[in-house]
Amino acid sequence: MKDVQERIGEIITILSQAYPRSRTALRFESPFQILVATILSAQCTDEKVNQITPALFRKYPTPSDFASADPKVLEQEIRPTGFFRNKTKSIIGASKKIVEDFGGKVPDNMEDLISLPGVARKTANIVLSSSFKKAEGIAVDTHVRRLSQRLGLSKEQDPDKIERDLMEIVPKDDWLDFNYMLVNHGRAVCPSRKPRCPECQLKRLCPSASEFYPGNELNL
């Protein structure tokens, strides 16, 4: 198996060809909407979030509207996404800080974004890449964490440490797309429980392929 520095270029090339228009599946029309949608997406499918956000954004079109929302009402409105109490606290807290400290506009840099309640680097990276086309890091969600480990790109468990490993090996020009390509590949070919290694475009570059399918089944 090639060294990770040798493999990463091939991995990116293959993924970019397989998923040429990789973007977040969350639907949004503004930086604030993608911020809220990303908070809601924690431990929840993008599909479920997309079912809820249209009505939510009609009722609360601005950060000020969310900042003044009744927490008990908002909890019930976002309940289907799970962890609704914590998410309500994060959304209202972030909205208040955006209104009070940033003039009602979502900040466009990592330092200010992670100062918002409930916003860590993963959420900040998604907002920056999706809305501002800025690459200050690589969002590490469950898909990116799983595939980074299976592909031998990182041995870490902590998302921040995985992100640092990825930032060292992935060219900065690819940071914007890398998360979305891994997410798409994770959903399409490499799910958590039963990865479909025989049909995977990355099987010859993946040190985990032979673990899931020992022997000669993969024709590596």
pLDDT (tens digit, 9 = 90+) per residue, 13-50?
999 999 987 788 899 999 999 999 999 999 999 999 99
Average predicted confidence (pLDDT) for the chain: 93
What is the average per-residue pLDDT within 162-172?
96
**Tokens linked to 91:** 């959304």
Closest CA to 148 of 3, 39, 43, 8: 8
**Tokens linked to 100:** 């009070």
Percent of the chain past pLDDT 70, that is, above it, reads 95
Q: What angle do CA 204, 205, 211 make, to 5 degrees?
A: 75
**At 99, phi and psi to the nearest 5?**
-70, -45
| Signed CA dihedral, 183, 150, 118, 131: sign only | negative
What is the average per-residue pLDDT within 165-188?
94
Find the Cα–Cα–Cα–Cα dihedral 19, 108, 164, 212, rounded to 10°. Answer: -30
In 67-187, beta strands by DSSP E: none
What is the average per-residue pLDDT within 122-143?
95
- Grouping H, G, I as helix, E, B as strand and the rest as coil, residue 134 is coil
- Separation between Cα atoms, residue 206 and residue 152, nearest integer Å: 7
The answer to whether the CB of 162 falls within 8 A of the CB of 156 is: yes
The single-letter code of the amino acid at 216 is: N
The pLDDT confidence band at residue 215, using thresholds 50, 70 and 90, is: low
The 8-class DSSP code of residue 205 comes to G
Q: Which residues 6+ apart lie within 8 Å of 27 measured at CB? A: 37, 50, 53, 54
- Separation between Cα atoms, residue 112 and residue 166, nearest integer Å: 23
The answer to whether the CB of 166 falls within 8 A of the CB of 141 is: no
Q: What is the pLDDT of residue 216?
A: 45
Query: Is residue 88 over pLDDT 50?
Result: yes
What is the average per-residue pLDDT within 88-104?
98
- Separation between Cα atoms, residue 97 and residue 84, nearest integer Å: 20
Query: Is residue 218 over pLDDT 80?
Result: no
Instruction: Sketch out the chain's domains with CATH numbers.
Output: 4-22+139-212 (1.10.1670.10), 31-131 (1.10.340.30)
What is the average per-residue pLDDT within 171-179?
94
What is the average per-residue pLDDT within 180-207?
93
Catalytic residue positions, numbered: 122, 141
